[in-house]
Structure 1
Amino acid sequence: MAGKRKISGIIIYGLAGLSLISFLLARFLPWKPEELKTMLSAATEMQAAINFIRSYREEKGLPFDLKTDPNQTGLIGLKWSALTTTLGQLEAKRTTTNPDFAGLIVYLLRQAGVERGQAVAIGASSSFPALIIASLAACKALEITPIYIVSLGASQWGANDPRFTWLDIQDCLEKARWLPELPVALSLGGARDKGTGLEPEAKEMLLRKISQKGLKLIHEPDLEKNVAFRLNLYETGARGKRIGAFINIGGGWANMGESEEILRFPPGLNIIDRTAAPFQGVVWEMGRRRIPVIHLLYIKGLAEKYGLPWDPEPLPQPGQSEFYRLARASARHFKLLAITYLLIASLSLLFFPKKMVPSYKKKWCHPTYSLFFHINR
């Protein structure tokens, strides 16, 4: 009898240990089957936003240049304008209009451990309006709060058309009731956030529009003060929610800082060394606070890394990019984990003599049930 009790204890503790291990894997394995739906939902949201923008431009009589924007996204600007701050690559800008970028950002946010109900801070340049929309679409799909700051100056082919700036894109999406949140602040962009490179009339036009909309303007040329001000805006905008990640879009001065180390920063998800000097830029300060950084710059490298097509024409349907394959593989691993656990637990109960099982006041206390309800809730 003592031997049977010993075996009984070993089996019960074994099942309990298996339950615990399976629970932890189920809890922290980032890719569950439903995440694929979230990625596709984000891509579909971005696709809808592009459709709204396309219709809006047509209503306003703003034609598409089919040579520079053959997919008629409305998110490709001009080679030069009064709002142009720096050089830019046309093919890179067109690549970012692929709705799968929204799915990629969901993928990266989940890799960073961001959960529903959290907040995400975004520092964006109008050089990549499509990536701003992709980030907002990802936040909508994940049901997380975006707290974002946009600089309005743009490099070539970004939102640098005076007739259709980021503020106009924002208006379009707000009227379509697509926009999840308004930005917590805007800046002119350029060197030291002073609108360097913008023509005087362009600055006046932007300042007038910002004032009319009642939005906060960041106009602080001191890097340390600028970064501190932005961090305060993010913390206030989070309203007590945890900031799960920071998304950097483009090469904004305040976000990137002035350290040459930023030039070695790879695109995609980064966990930054927390020993970085304070106030080098928002990117570095987020790293010091143990907040993962998603760096959306160097689009060619980003596209190659995650299997997105370069400068596609026409735009592919959502779900075709390589990172979806990686997510599907992870989802299959999750299903395999669940099936394996349930099979082992079921066989143990089936062949385990009932006399060797201690009675439980509540049957749900048995270790077999813990993961079952976690997986199927």
Structure 2
Amino acid sequence: MFRPQIQKTKTLFFIACLSMVSVYLVSQSNTYIEKDGIDDKIRATEIMQSYINSIKKSNLVSINDEDLYQTGLIGVESSNITTVYNEGSKNFLNSKISCTHPNFSALVVHLFKEAEISSGDTVAVSMTGSLPGANLALMAACEALDISPVILSSIGSSSWGANREDFTWLDMESYLYREKLIKDKSLAVSIGGENDLGENLTDKGIEIIEENIISNNFDLVNESSLKENIDSKMNMYKRKLPIENYSAFINIGGGSSSIGYGAAKDSMKVGVLFPIEIDDIIEDNEYFSSSLAYNFMNKGVTFINIKNINILGKDWGLYPPDKSIDINNGKLFYETENYNLNVIIFTLLLNLGLITFIGIYSHQQIKRRMKNEEYDSVL
């Protein structure tokens, strides 16, 4: 019995299969939309990668097994200049590693834009040796956006940070400055650790830090108390620019002079904090009122807190660290929406084209069949 192509079971089965495959492809498709400031973020990652490459090539430091991204920025578990020792803490180590991915510099760019910091602005920065990756990310973001940082540092570092006695944060910074990879370096440095005076370090540890400061030709901030250290640092910031003229105060790590003394600082909010939030911060951490960050916020300056990387980095796909995280890819760079218009159009045209082709072909079959039947009836 004659049946045109469009009525054949195998044809209908093929059309049904193609339709199901098309529906699956459309349902699994995504549209990637570039995030605001993607060019600046990519520029920052390139700059940070250049820092890392230079440090690795310098042969100043060996890369240990814990350094997942092989950057040279991960220190040791314990040393004489280790201010906070976290034995066997995977989360602690992961936080240090997460900061060493070049995409972390894109996160800093994102925070700058959220805080409405723009090209030509000046920011006050207080950083420790605990998160060298975040320190470099900050410098890369400043370079990418043409932002001027006024930096004060402390040298002591918690476990897995820049706590190698022969390769401190000052050594990293000084090397990059000599190589002309960074334009700005710390105005002065403090010992860090408890009360910013190294009170939880041994005499040997303090001696190592002081010798490191001298060998790198930095001024030492080492007053008789935490309050006096804070006052001294505030005066240094003021000599550069009136406090209210800074676009932001940026803290990296858990320095006592930066965000206050005590354990409460470890549960502080992270990211961009506006001056209106100052009372809420003090309510959670009474010692915050004795800090550099408080002095800036009290003058109406936005505070960016880069700490608790397990919280700050998680929302942006940077924590926990993973070798599969691609540079210049992920939530910081692209927004993902369900369905891709190009896939929808392609599958629609494919299905319509196939059905149209089969329909025309079947119509021609029927016409030929009818002509043959008319010819046979005449005979």
* Gap change, CA 1:259 and 1:92, over 3 Å in 2: closer
The alpha-carbon deviation at position 81 of structure 1 amounts to 0.8
Secondary structure of the residue aligned to 1:68 is: coil
Q: Residues 319-348 of structure 1, C-alpha deviation per residue, up to 9 Å, x if partnerless?
A: 21312235x99xxxxxxxxxxxxxxxxxxx
CA contact (8 A) 2:153 2:190 kept: yes
Aligned to 2:68: 70
SS of residue matched to 1:294: strand
What is aligned with 1:318? 327
Deviation at 1:176, TM superposition (A): 2.0
Cross-structure match for 1:36: 38
State the distance in 2 between where 1:239 and 1:216 align: 21
Superposed displacement of residue 210, structure 1: 1.7
1:1-377 correspondence to structure 2 within 5 Å: 35-57=37-59, 60=60, 62-65=61-64, 67-88=65-86, 89-238=92-241, 242-258=245-261, 262-272=265-275, 273-274=277-278, 279-313=289-323, 316-325=325-334
In structure 2, what is the equivalent of residue 347 of structure 1? none
CA contact (8 A) 1:81 1:160 kept: yes
Q: What is the rounded CA distance, in whole Å, between the counterparts of 2:178 and 2:300 in structure 1?
A: 37
Q: Distance in 1 between matches of 2:131 and 2:217?
A: 24
- Does the 8 Å contact 1:147/1:238 carry over to 2? no
Gaps in structure 1 of 5+ consecutive residues: 1-31, 330-377
**Does the 8 A contact of 1:308 with 1:321 survive in 2?**
no
Q: CA deviation at 1:261?
A: 5.8
Shift in Å, 1:252? 0.5
Q: 1:52 to 1:119 in 2, by over 3 A?
A: same
Contact 1:83/1:161 (8 A) holds in 2: yes
Question: What amino acid is the match of 1:41?
Answer: R
More off after superposition, 137-146 vs 204-213: 204-213
Give 1:344's aligned residue. Answer: none
Check 1:260–1:91 CA distance in 2 against 1; reply closer, same or farther (3 A cut): closer
Kindly state the Cα deviation for residue 312 of structure 1 after the two structures are TM-superposed: 1.8
Give per-residue Cα distances to partners, 1:46-99, cap 9 Å, x unaligned. Answer: 111000111112xx4x4322x211322010000111111103411111111011
CA distance in 2, matches of 1:56, 1:174: 13
SS at structure 2 position matched to 1:113:
coil
Between stretches 237-246 and 187-196, larger displacement belongs to: 237-246
State how far apart, in whole Å, the 1-side matches of 2:35 and 2:102 are.
20
Unaligned runs of 5+ in 2: 1-33, 87-91, 338-379
Task: Give aligned pairs, total.
Answer: 292
Q: Secondary structure of the equivalent of 2:186?
A: coil
Q: Percent of aligned positions with the same letter in both sequences?
A: 28
8 A Cα contact 1:309 1:321, kept in partner: no
Checking the alignment, whether the CA contact within 8 Å between 1:125 and 1:250 is kept in structure 2 is: yes
Mapped partners of 2:130, 2:121: distance in 1: 27
Shift of 1:288: 1.0
Tell me the distance in 2 between the aligned counterparts of 1:49 and 1:164. Answer: 15
| TM-score, L = length of structure 1 | 0.71
Q: Which amino acid aligns with 2:329?
A: Q
* AA at the equivalent of 2:322: P
When normalised by structure 2's length, the TM-score is 0.71
CA positional deviation for 1:274: 4.5
Give, as a single letter, the amino acid of the residue that structure 2 aligns with 1:311: P
Label 1:170 to 1:145 Cα distance change in 2 as closer, same or farther (>3 A): same
Instruction: Give the Cα separation in 2 of the matches to 1:156 and 1:258.
Output: 19
What SS does structure 1 have at the residue aligned with 2:182?
coil
| 1:236 shift after superposition | 2.0
Task: Point out the more displaced range, 42-51 or 229-238.
Answer: 229-238
Query: Judging changes above 3 Å, is the alpha-carbon distance between structure 1 residues 203 and 223 closer, same or farther for their aligned structure 2 residues?
Result: closer
- For 2:330 and 2:235, locate their aligned partners in 1 and report how far apart those are by CA, in whole Å: 37
Amino acid corresponding to residue 270 of structure 1 in structure 2: L
**Cα 1:312–1:238 shift into 2, 3 Å:** farther
- Higher alpha-carbon Rg: 2
1:234–1:202 Cα change, 3 Å = same
Q: Which residue of 1 aligns with 2:19?
A: none
Q: Provide the aligned C-alpha RMSD in A.
A: 2.5
